[in-house]
Structure formats: structure tokens, C-alpha cells
Amino acid sequence: MDHQKHILVIGCLGFIGTHVVAYAKKLGFQVTGCDLHDHSGTGYHYARVSPGNQPWDALLNGQPFDYCINAGGNGNVGFSIQEPYRDFQSNTNDTASLLDALRRLQPNCRYVHISSAAVYGNPGSLPVKESANCKPMSPYGWHKWMSELICREYAELFHQPIAIVRPFSVYGPGLRKQIFWDTYQKYLSDPSQVELWGTGSESRDFIYITDACKAMFLILEKADMQGEVYNLGSGLETVISEAVTKLFHSLQLQPRILFNGKQRAGDPLQWRADIGKLTSLGFSADVPMDEGMKRLAEWLKDQS
């Protein structure tokens, strides 16, 4: 009988974590998840953790894990600017405590660390390669970069099987923040017109959430796991004005869209990922943006 793979998902109730759990279950994995909130009826083993008091030893002393994906930590750039130390604790310190527990108790567990394209800041050229200089523009970006260095430390000094992913703009049902959610909430407040930050000429590399999950599980299975970094994106650049137009087209709405010309602190201008390393593992996206926007629009309408 084949061994049933067992995966530990940190931050299993967040946007990415929820989809990682669903993807793992679809693949037939045994799933254990942990997060900060009370939760029941999950269909998998769930453990609640407290900020700064993670029961890693209790989790890792039980059944061995084949894999771990760390989707935990703060994901809000604005919060990191308001509360930089709390963001450090969430994104950097908690990573160190988890990796050290894995070192002591389950050193062979293959670990994927979810960092962020925020480590790049404003890239000097596009598409941005993993080898590009990191110039974070926010505490969030800095703390994600620090967490990457800790991952490299444990991979290089203790030979733990670790890979790092830098997601660009992951989107899809369940994401209650960032450009598409915020834009729709503004429309609900004033259907006549929607005012957004920036000029509209800023760009992002959007990847649908199930494609992001597909990439991470491919990395778990096929990567060298020596502390290397993978960009997680589509490899396509979409300007914000076009992305917002696609959203409203999928919603069958036509509000007036205004851009205020102001840049928010911590927001980069242009992003497009070089995904050559990821495609070398056999990755190809399944959900083009038009289809992804249709799925997102259906979910958004269900929320209003």
C-alpha cells in the first residue's frame, strides 16, 4: 500500500493556506493545519496556535510530516508600516522558531517557505529574476527577506530540505484585501464612480490561486530543496487599469474609474516575474486571467 503523504500547513485559515489545504486534500494527502483562530468542521486535523506561543513541539512530536508549507504570518503591508515590530514577530521570528523545531524533531520534512515579491521593491528591470538585488520598500518586505535568510541558514548549515517562493500578485476567491476586493468594496459604497490609488499605469504579475498551489506542490516534489528561491507568478505583466477593467467586465458593471495619482507607501510601480526556474520544473499555468476573473467575480457577488 502506498504511503499517504502527510502535510503540515501553517496559516491554514488564511487565503493561501485555505487553498493549499483544499489542494492537498484533492491530491489525497493527510492534512494537519494550524492557525490563530478557533475553527471546527475542517475535515482535517486542526490545531490553534497563539502569537509567540506556537506548540511546534507538540505538533512535530506526533506523526511524521513529509511536507510543510508555511502560509502564516502577516500579509498586510500597511499593518507592517503601523506595527513594524509585530510584523517582525509574525513574519521573521515565528519562521525561526518553526525551522528550529523542524531541525530538532523532523529534519527531513520538505519545507516550502512563502516569502513575497515585496523583497524586490521596485526592480531595476523586468522581468525580475530571483537573482535580482532585493530592495524592500516596507517593513513587510524587509521581514520577508529576513525570513528568507533564516531559511537559507537552516538549509546551508543544517541541510534541511527547504525552498522559498516569492509570490507576486496571487488572486482568487477568498482574498478579502488588495486591489480586486478593495475596488469592489468601493463600488458597493458608490456605484457611480470608483476612485483608486496611483495612475492606473502601474503593473502587476497576477497568478490565480490554484496555479500558485500547483506550483508549490511541484516544488515540494521536484525541487532540489537547498534553500533556493522560486518566483511565483504567471510571467505576464498587466497594468492596473486593465486589471480593474477586466474585473468590472466580469461583474457586468461599468462604473466610472478614477485614479488619484497618489502612490501608497510600500507599493511598487511595475512587476513582472521571470518564471524560468519554475517552468524548468515542469510548471505551466492552467487558469488564464480572463477565466480567473470570472471565478473571482462570481465569488465577489456572493459576498455582497
Report pLDDT digits (tens) over 197-222: 999 999 999 999 999 999 999 999 99
pLDDT of the residue at 39: 85
pLDDT of the residue at 40: 79
Residue found by looking up cell 474585473 in the block: 247
* Strand ranges, E, within 133-234: 162-167, 169-171, 193-196, 203-204, 206-208, 226-232
Q: Considering the domain 6-172+206-236+272-286 in this protein, what is its CATH number?
A: 3.40.50.720
pLDDT of the residue at 50: 78
For residue 195, list its beta bridge partners.
Answer: 258
Taking only the tens place, the pLDDT of each residue in 86-119 is 999 999 999 999 999 999 999 999 999 999 999 9
pLDDT of the residue at 1: 45
Contact of 34 with 101, CB cutoff 8 Å: no
Distance, in Å, from the CA atom of 89 to the CA atom of 67, rounded to the nearest integer, reads 24
Cα–Cα–Cα angle for 168, 171, 176, nearest 5°? Answer: 115
pLDDT of the residue at 54: 67
Using 50 as the pLDDT threshold, list the residues of the chain that sit under it. 1
Distance, in Å, from the CA atom of 238 to the CA atom of 272, rounded to the nearest integer, reads 8
Distance, in Å, from the CA atom of 26 to the CA atom of 15, rounded to the nearest integer, reads 17
**Which one, of 15, 304, 234, 266, lies nearest residue 118 by Cα?**
266
Distance, in Å, from the CA atom of 68 to the CA atom of 27, rounded to the nearest integer, reads 15
**For residue 5, what is its C-alpha cell?**
503523504
